[in-house]
Chains A and B, each alone.
Chain A
Amino acid sequence: MKILTANRLGDGEAVWFAKDQSWSETIEGAEIADDAAAEERLAAIGKAAFAANLVVDVDLVDVTLAGGAIVPVRLRERIRAAGPTNRSDLGKQARPGATV
């Protein structure tokens, strides 16, 4: 199971490709690819967004579902989705209503 992630060109904000076809600032609504064809489709979207100078550092990352929530497999990606673990006042985790 994979999702598509990148950093936005202008401000470097970590973003995820969402079900509504936008680049979302949170991981929650990310579109999940659960087969090879879907992964390929996401990869192509990432490549096109990179070429269109919307995002940089595009990557497909492994995730699992825990109680319906998307949880990246690697700690690196969990930290990207939440913010620095030593500063809960910073990053996505600090936003009002954040669940990560």
Chain B
Amino acid sequence: MYRYDEFDQEFVDARVAEFTDQVERRLAGEITEDQFRPLRLMNGVYLQLHAYMLRIAIPYGTLNARQMRMLAHIARKYDKGYGHFTTRQNIQFNWPALSDMPAILADLASVEMHAIQTSGNCIRNVTADHFAGAAADEVADPRPYAEILRQWSSVHPEFSYLPRKFKIAVTGAERDRAAIQVHDIGLHLKKNAAGELGFAVYVGGGQGRTPLIAKKIKDFLPEEHLLSYTTAIMRVYNLNGRRDNKYKARIKILVHETGTEEFARQVEAEWAELRDGELTLPEADIRAIDAYFAPPALPARTEGDAAVKEARLDSRTFAEWLDQNVITHKHPDYAAVTISLKPIGEAPGDASDGQMDAVANIAERYAFDEIRVSHEQNLILPYVARADLKAVYDALVEAGLATANSNLISDIIACPGLDYCALANARSISVAQDIALRVASLERQRDIGELKLKISGCINACGHHHVGHIGILGVEKKGAELYQVTLGGSGDEHTSIGEIVGRGFGPDEITDAIEKVVETYLALRKDKQERFLDAYRRVGPAPFKEALYAGEARAA
């Protein structure tokens, strides 16, 4: 994985020193809250309901055991013993004191981490496929390009005060696990007929109050033009994006209002001035960054097949976990493991300090010291020998991390919602807990099959509800929580925005409503192979509306 060079470390250390001074002056009353607020936000410090919140960047979701242990240490020493992994592949701590921030950031800097650009109207953490480097279906690892974008965008003077925040995602496989079509810029790394690497470039996707699917404005951008072309997009946006209305300030609105063709023309015109200039990436530089992401040397472990076969016979729960949370690897002797952070009845994405330490230990011992955070709020071990899967499973069981529900209905994405967040209108975690408890039986969940359920506690859609096969949006109506249900959303290579099915449900009704939706699907699916999303796309909303609301219509 990427290691800081001297410049990176100096830059991060300098920022810690600068922010330490700013915090001290704030606590001494030398600067006002209005002066301090933008400074703290630039360093990932928010104020929420109960306390401050610190959002720490995990570039493209990749971290090593030492970094994970530091997160555990921060949870223990400065917080309340846990952290929350987010849909942006980051981690948030919910209770740190402002006066402790300098010490926390210094601790983070000691392991090459920081909280820079995790807030504010700048280019945020660049996200990537969490199976990058391991997935059998990828053309190339997308993370070197995410790292190039990170270096280029860090305190970029021209792009630090954009009309609004800006999110870039990169995938290196046809199967999109990074939801690139709901990002401001989505990059699909691929090869052309000549075998050269480049990107299909998507622009103007996003969720929030105006969900829009990104438009493809370039089918193949040769890799060396990544920065010049991205700069051209940013310049068109920075110049023309609306600054008069926060709700219309994202690039998706600009692309939508300008029209895709005209927007692409403007980008091409800007790019004509930039291409082949100083932003062209030298081949040697790309390969130098590539080298940081070279997969570990994976020795042959041919005993894996026999070991897995035997362990499968010995333990039903291991077999279930294997079927659900382990995926095929590029290397036949290896596998990529999803560590579910969705134990039934717990807050999605939360991990205790002890669990973080356990994952660090497992990663070090069995997984070549590499851990990923997925945008679905789980952790991934991308390189595990099949021969070690049982040992990894046993260690995860011990840490309470062996829930076998990856991609099932209880593998719910949920934002922190009104239990923590100052922007939220309704709770998300409690809804996720109730639904997971209702469908707790693994047998039932496996019968239901792949079903992505996503919950947001406000229209900002941090819980990605618009792209949930089933989405739930919490709103406040007459002082009470109300949950709207959307169906048919998807955040993959066939991205779609879910459609609101009808009137919302109260907190006491929402779990029943979701169960009705699921039962309706089970009754109408062609066979077990037809997933919820496929069935919905085939039959549309009518049977679900009928199941949810028909009684009311008749009563009326």
Q: Chain A interface (Cβ within 8 Å of chain B)?
A: 7, 9-14, 50, 52-53, 56-57, 73-76, 79-80, 83-87, 90-91
Contacts and interface: CB of A to CB of B under 8 A. Distances in A.
Residue among B50, B52, B476 facing the most chain A CB atoms (10 A cut-off): B50
Nearest to A13: B51
B420 A7 contact: no
B412 to A, nearest CB: 13
B98 interface: yes
Given A75-B427, A84-B50, 17 more contacts: A9-B26, A10-B99, A11-B97, A12-B47, A12-B98, A13-B51, A14-B50, A14-B51, A52-B29, A53-B32, A53-B33, A80-B49, A80-B50, A85-B430, A86-B419, A86-B430, A86-B433
A14 B94 CA distance: 13
A12 B420 contact: no
Nearest to B507: A75
B13 interface: no
A64 to B, nearest CB: 11
Given A14-B49, A86-B429, A50 B33 contact: yes
Nearest to A80: B49
20 contacts: A9-B27, A9-B33, A10-B98, A11-B97, A12-B47, A12-B95, A12-B98, A13-B50, A14-B51, A57-B422, A75-B480, A79-B49, A79-B419, A80-B49, A84-B420, A85-B427, A85-B429, A86-B347, A86-B433, A87-B347
Contacts, number: 76
A11 B98 contact: yes
A10 B50 contact: no
Contact of A76 (B27, B80, B418): B418
Nearest to A57: B47
A56 B51 CA distance: 11
Nearest to B80: A90
B479 interface: yes
Nearest to A77: B49
B50 A91 contact: yes
B98 A9 contact: yes
Contact of B97 (A12, A73, A80, A84): A12
A87 to B, nearest CB: 8
Interface string B38-51: 00000000011111
B481 interface: yes
Nearest to A86: B429
Contact of A73 (B47, B95, B427, B479): B479
Interface string B477-505: 00111000000000000000000000000
Interface string B287-318: 00000000000000000000000000000000
A9 B476 CA distance: 28
Contacts of B48: 12
Contact of A10 (B32, B95, B97, B424): B97
B436 to A, nearest CB: 12
Interface in B428-442: 429-430, 433
B419 A84 contact: yes
Q: Return the 5 tightest CB-CB contacts between A and B, nearest first.
A: A11-B97, A12-B51, A84-B419, A12-B52, A53-B29
A50 B26 CA distance: 12
Nearest to B45: A12
Nearest to A94: B80
Contacts of A83: 50
Contacts of B430: 85-86
A89 to B, nearest CB: 9
B430 to A, nearest CB: 6
A10 B28 CA distance: 10
Given A10-B98, A10-B99, A86-B419, A56 B33 contact: yes
Contacts of A52: 29
Nearest to A92: B50
B418 A79 contact: yes
Interface string B390-434: 000000000000000000000000000011101010110110010
Contacts of A87: 347, 419
B51 A11 contact: yes
Residue among B99, B418, B422 facing the most chain A CB atoms (10 A cut-off): B418
Nearest to B37: A56
Contacts of A84: 50, 419-420, 429
B388 to A, nearest CB: 34
Contacts of B47: 7, 12, 56-57
Interface in B47-64: 47-52
A56 to B, nearest CB: 5
Contacts of A57: 47, 422
B419 A85 contact: yes
Residue among B98, B424, B433 facing the most chain A CB atoms (10 A cut-off): B98
B38 to A, nearest CB: 14
Interface in B109-161: none
A85 B421 CA distance: 13
Contacts of B49: 14, 76, 79-80
